[in-house]
A and B are shown apart, each in its own frame.
Chain A
Amino acid sequence: MDDANRSNRSLNSLLTARRGRRRLHWTDVFSYTYLIFGVILMFGPVVWLVLSSFKTPAGLIEFPPTFLPLGQIEVQVDGYEKPLLLFDVTQDDGTIKQLAQVRRIGIVSQMVDPEVLGETIRVPIDQRTKVREFRLAVENYTDPLERFNFVGFLNNSLIVTIVATVITLLINSMAAYGLSIYEFRGRNAIMLFVIGTLMIPITVILVPVYLVVTQLGMINSLWAVILPGAATPTGVFLLRQYMLTIPKDLIEAARMDKASEWAVYSKVVLPLTMPAIAVLAIFSIMWRWNEFLWPLIVLNRSEVHTLQVGLNAFQGELDVQWHYILAMTVVTLIPVVVVFTFLQKFITTGIASSGMK
């Protein structure tokens, strides 16, 4: 009795939790309803994508769709080369029997009993239902590796992401160092200029950057994607703000020890700037991995497509092969999910403190 009471109370306190010690307020109910609805809306489509990506082409065109990936069971019957599809057939006397289909002609299908050989039975198709089991169509993931240039896309995306991020970190941290450690004439002008370039996103200068890239002979090479976005004003700004907090004494001490300016930068300042560098690295990886419009313009040959451009090309084809597209979408999503689970703190604090994405 006492036990039941206590568990009852704890359940009650769980349901009516928070807001100090007061009772459940209407806003609590609203909050949790909203949050649960939010979880369904945010996660639902992604879960559905992952589940669908394991379905066979036949399973994908089914309507209404099944929730889990199911595959029809096939049986090997003596006398037939290929495995036959298995059906539950409702017979005239109302009993159900499992038969394998040899072929279908219009609304009648010719079936054979896997146990009793030789004799084919004619069954109207509305008297049979498929026998299915839970099965993951892993071939959706393995086929694109051979049939399309999927590995090539993956490679291109990796190269772009890594090389561009390294360049971005290097040149932006150098610029930030120049703008934070030294006092020199024109510093404020340069800073203003850097902030000014914030106002000119790539969408405004698509044509002339295309011209510059063509002049440099980089069309249809990955450099055309890597270089134009390498210097980012947000990156310079973020790193500079951080470097300004480094005590000047440390730098002076290093100079006393006859360290060159480059050594001061690479051995003293950069290690101390690591938290900000990490934030910029994560952002750069995200930007580059997800970039779409610019690669779409400069990468016209499919050998140089990145994942995003390749995916878009596939989904734009006349005969859309959804089973492959869904699987490739899942693969494209994985690195982002991995980065997010491990580095969520960095990302969210980075956004909250710099207001950039």
Chain B
Amino acid sequence: MPIAKDRISISDRLSAVAAWPVLLIFKLLDYPLSLVQRIVGVKGMPWIFLLPNLAFFGLFVVIPLGINFAFSFTGGPELFLSDRVYTGTEQYAFLLDCETFGDPITCREDRFWKGLYNTAIFIIFQVTFLVLFSMITALILNRKIRARGFFRAVFFFPVLLSPVVVALIWKWVLLRDGILNAFLVSIGMDKILFFVSPEWSMFWAVFVSIWAHMGFYTLIILAGLQAIQPDLYEAAEMDGTSTERVFWRITLPLLWPNLLVVVVLALIKGVQIFDEVFVLTGGGPGTATQFIVQYIYNTGFTEQVQNFGLASAASMVLGGVLFVLTMTQLAATRARDNG
């Protein structure tokens, strides 16, 4: 196949071009690092190799995490920690003060609770249908179908698109005079102003994020499906087991650990939903599609008075949720890889 060969050589050439600056850096660093080795000895070298990475982690993850914690106990508009006023747990008290929990309007900081509430609704629907459709797609792509590579690419490519591009693509379809409304009119219905209705906005937020991310989860489930031993299916076929029974008794139980990982992964991403929906709906109408990350973003960066303390406190709440989810993910991954 000459075409396949051409492709390989082009991608080789591309990576050669990409590797060139890296190679140059290696050459430049050769002499100073040999010098360093003479000073610290071979035993010290692993630390030298780790140093840049650890410095980055320290500067942009560990220190910020500490500052975040400290910030959440301070108030006022100043950015630098030394200028800020210590307020104790006031920010948390303000965030969590509700007359009746579960009803955002009765809370002092109703936008935060609305954000939490929206995020909860969003992930319930998004994760359920995301995993369901990824599963169906993976099952179909795992069959002996024609043009499998093509179909796999079709479902996968939106994963690579930027959230802004995804949102703009769909915004253009869904506008008042967009093609979807043209279709609705052509079948005799009225135009729907999707971004004016809170329910439709939420629906499209869920739909578009599933559209964008489905390929990723499909791929993971597909890898899980392909890891199932083919002799199990052969044995089932020899016994004349029905397709439905094969699915419930072989495919699903063996895929289950993988599905668990996928669900938790989707939850972790879902809780942090921001980009696509922010560009698509701007959080609107009103606060109908405003999620927790957008609340943090708005509170800390777009309000007239930037309330860093409150944003940090909200971040800590989000961090707590993510911590629990990530622990679950690690446990699920370990269970999958061991079992």
Q: Is the CB of B315 within 8 A of A205?
A: yes
Q: Is A102 an interface residue (CB 8 A)?
A: no
A347 to B215, CA, bound (A): 12
- Whose C-beta in chain B lies nearest to the C-beta of A183? B46
Task: Tell me which residues across on chain A come within 8 A of B11, comparing CB atoms.
Answer: 342-343, 346
Q: Is B164 an interface residue (CB 8 A)?
A: yes
- Whose C-beta in chain A lies nearest to the C-beta of B53? A175
Q: Evaluate whether A197 and B311 lie within 8 angstroms (CB atoms) in the complex, with A31-B140, A332-B162, A347-B160 already known.
A: no
CB distance from A280 to the nearest CB of B (A): 12
Task: Tell me which residues across on chain A come within 8 A of B301, comparing CB atoms.
Answer: 206, 210, 297
Q: Is A322 an interface residue (CB 8 A)?
A: yes
Q: Is B287 an interface residue (CB 8 A)?
A: no
Q: When the two chains form the complex, which single residue of B80, B219, B296 contacts A206, counting CB atoms closer than 8 Å?
A: B296
Q: Is the CB of B56 within 8 A of A171?
A: yes
Q: When the two chains form the complex, which single residue of A17, A43, A184, A236 contacts B53, counting CB atoms closer than 8 Å?
A: A236
Q: Is A321 an interface residue (CB 8 A)?
A: no
Task: Tell me which residues across on chain B come within 8 A of A311, comparing CB atoms.
Answer: 164-165, 168
B44-56 vs A: 1/0 string, CB under 8 Å?
0111111011101
Task: Tell me which residues across on chain A come within 8 A of B62, comparing CB atoms.
Answer: 197
A169 to B333, CA, bound (A): 26
Q: Is the CB of A212 within 8 A of B293?
A: no
A184, A199, A278, A352 interface centre (most CB from chain B within 10 Å): A199
Q: Which of A81-95 contact B (CB under 8 A)?
A: none
Q: Is B154 an interface residue (CB 8 A)?
A: yes
B160-189 vs A: 1/0 string, CB under 8 Å?
111111001111110001110110011000
- Whose C-beta in chain B lies nearest to the C-beta of A53? B172
Q: Is the CB of B160 within 8 A of A293?
A: no
A347 to B219, CA, bound (A): 11
Q: Is the CB of B22 within 8 A of A178?
A: no
Q: When the two chains form the complex, which single residue of B43, B136, B155, B297 contacts A297, counting CB atoms closer than 8 Å?
A: B297
A64 to B144, CA, bound (A): 41
Task: Tell me which residues across on chain A come within 8 A of B33, comparing CB atoms.
Answer: 260-262
CB distance from B118 to the nearest CB of A (A): 15
Main secondary structure of the interface of A (DSSP, over half): helix
Q: Is the CB of B56 within 8 A of A316?
A: no
Q: Evaluate whether A333 and B165 lie within 8 angstroms (CB atoms) in the complex, with A39-B154, A312-B279 already known.
A: yes
Q: Evaluate whether A205 and B216 lie within 8 angstroms (CB atoms) in the complex, with A48-B172, A292-B162 already known.
A: no
Q: When the two chains form the complex, which single residue of B53, B140, B164 contacts A308, counting CB atoms closer than 8 Å?
A: B164
CB distance from A229 to the nearest CB of B (A): 8
CB distance from B87 to the nearest CB of A (A): 15
Q: Is B14 an interface residue (CB 8 A)?
A: yes
CB distance from B139 to the nearest CB of A (A): 9
Task: Tell me which residues across on chain B come within 8 A of A80, comparing CB atoms.
Answer: none
Q: Evaluate whether A203 and B318 lie within 8 angstroms (CB atoms) in the complex, with A212-B60, A212-B63, A281-B18 already known.
A: yes
Q: Is A134 an interface residue (CB 8 A)?
A: no
A291 to B122, CA, bound (A): 22
Q: When the two chains form the complex, which single residue of B64, B182, B219 contacts A205, counting CB atoms closer than 8 Å?
A: B64
B302-326 vs A: 1/0 string, CB under 8 Å?
0000001001100110110011001
Q: Evaluate whether A64 and B297 lie within 8 angstroms (CB atoms) in the complex, with A212-B64, A236-B53 already known.
A: no
Interface size class of A (residues with CB under 8 A): 35 or more
Q: Which of A305-340 contact B (CB under 8 A)?
A: 308, 311-312, 315-316, 322, 325-326, 329, 332-333, 336-337, 339-340
Q: Is the CB of A293 within 8 A of B275?
A: yes
Task: Tell me which residues across on chain B come within 8 A of A230, comparing CB atoms.
Answer: 56
Task: Tell me which residues across on chain B come within 8 A of A346, comparing CB atoms.
Answer: 11
A32, A204, A336, A355 interface centre (most CB from chain B within 10 Å): A204
Task: Tell me which residues across on chain A come within 8 A of B79, comparing CB atoms.
Answer: 210-211, 214
A260 to B29, CA, bound (A): 12
A-B contact pairs, 9 of them (CB 8 A): A19-B143, A19-B144, A48-B172, A182-B46, A190-B50, A204-B316, A211-B67, A270-B26, A346-B11
Give B contacts to A, CB under 8 Å.
7, 10-11, 14-15, 18, 21-22, 25-26, 29-30, 33-34, 37, 42-43, 45-50, 52-54, 56-57, 59-68, 71, 79-81, 136-137, 140, 143-146, 151-165, 168-173, 177-179, 181-182, 185-186, 211, 216, 219-220, 222-223, 243, 261, 265, 272, 274-275, 279, 282, 293, 296-297, 300-301, 308, 311-312, 315-316, 318-319, 322-323, 326, 333
Give A contacts to B, CB under 8 Å.
17-19, 25, 27, 31-32, 34-35, 38-39, 41-43, 45-46, 48-49, 52, 61-65, 162, 165-166, 169-172, 174-175, 177-179, 181-182, 184, 187, 190, 193-194, 197-201, 203-212, 214-215, 227-231, 236, 260-263, 265-266, 270, 278, 281, 286, 289-290, 292-293, 296-297, 308, 311-312, 315-316, 322, 325-326, 329, 332-333, 336-337, 339-340, 342-344, 346-348, 351-353, 355, 357
- Beyond A212-B63, A292-B164, A297-B297, list 5 extra A-B contacts (CB 8 Å): A45-B172, A48-B179, A184-B47, A261-B37, A308-B164
